[in-house]
């Protein structure tokens, strides 16, 4: 029974996900979801309190996909601290694979509320992941700051806003310049040796080159 309930819940989420992509959150009615899944209204409300509750559950499902790889990388202490930071940032860069699919979905104007919720997930989810790596770097003498969490929060919030295509339109060159600026100022926020994080720029350059091919 528990397995059947979970399968039904996922069927509802899958249907809502598809409909939100086609019609947007506001343009999708609960009747649309009921018809697509082929269930009674009572069954829908057994699993979800409202349409917004369905959206919140979809955001939670996205969060697992968006943050899961970053958490896995952050936990791998065999990877050097700076390289781990690079890998985490690239994993959240939302520029390929399932992440791109998610971003294309939520960047549609009719899904603005879902977009806002995902932004909150990224800021609140990525910041502590990176903070843990920064604290390791402090212990190793790579960084020197009494505010590791706050530093990462500033950087993640800035990056999440400026590199969002809905907020700031940029050429490839302008985007590269913004990345260099984040690294330049990030080194100072973290008390890192000048140039010690600039390898991030090279990683982004190679990543963007692959994505632009």
Per-residue pLDDT tens over the stretch 41-99: 999 999 999 988 998 898 888 888 778 888 999 999 999 998 888 888 777 654 444 44
Check residue 202 and give its pLDDT.
66
Phi, psi for residue 100 in degrees, rounded to 5: -65, -40
* C-alpha–C-alpha distance, residues 69 and 128, integer Å: 14
Closest to 154 in 3D by CA, of 127, 193, 121, 181: 127
Reported pTM: 0.71
Closest to 53 in 3D by CA, of 108, 100, 1, 113: 113
- Report H helices in 38-171: 41-47, 51-74, 81-91, 97-106, 112-139, 148-162
Least confidently predicted of 14-18, 68-72, 87-91, 157-161 = 87-91
* C-alpha–C-alpha distance, residues 197 and 36, integer Å: 50
- For the chain, the straight-line distance linking the first and the last C-alpha, in angstroms and rounded, comes to 48
């Amino acid at each position: 029974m528990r397995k059947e309930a979970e399968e039904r819940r996922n069927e509802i989420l899958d249907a809502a996900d598809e409909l939100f992509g086609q019609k947007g959150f506001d343009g999708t009615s609960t009747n649309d979801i009921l018809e697509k899944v082929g269930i009674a209204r009572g069954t829908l409300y057994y699993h979800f309190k409202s349409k917004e509750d369905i959206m919140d559950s979809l955001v939670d499902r996205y969060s697992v996909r968006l943050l899961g790889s970053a958490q896995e990388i952050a936990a791998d202490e065999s990877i050097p601290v700076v390289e781990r930071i690079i890998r985490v940032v690239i994993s959240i860069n939302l520029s390929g694979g399932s992440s791109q699919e998610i971003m294309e979905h939520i960047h549609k104007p009719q899904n603005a509320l879902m977009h806002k919720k995902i932004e909150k997930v990224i800021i609140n989810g990525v910041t502590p992941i990176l903070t843990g790596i920064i604290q390791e770097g402090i212990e190793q003498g790579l960084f020197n700051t009494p505010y590791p969490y706050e530093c990462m929060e500033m950087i993640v919030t800035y990056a999440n806003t400026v590199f969002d295509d809905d907020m700031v339109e940029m050429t490839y060159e302008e985007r590269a310049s913004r990345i260099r600026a984040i690294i330049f100022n990030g080194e100072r926020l973290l008390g890192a040796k000048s140039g010690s994080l600039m390898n991030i720029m090279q990683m982004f350059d190679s990543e963007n080159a692959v994505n632009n091919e």
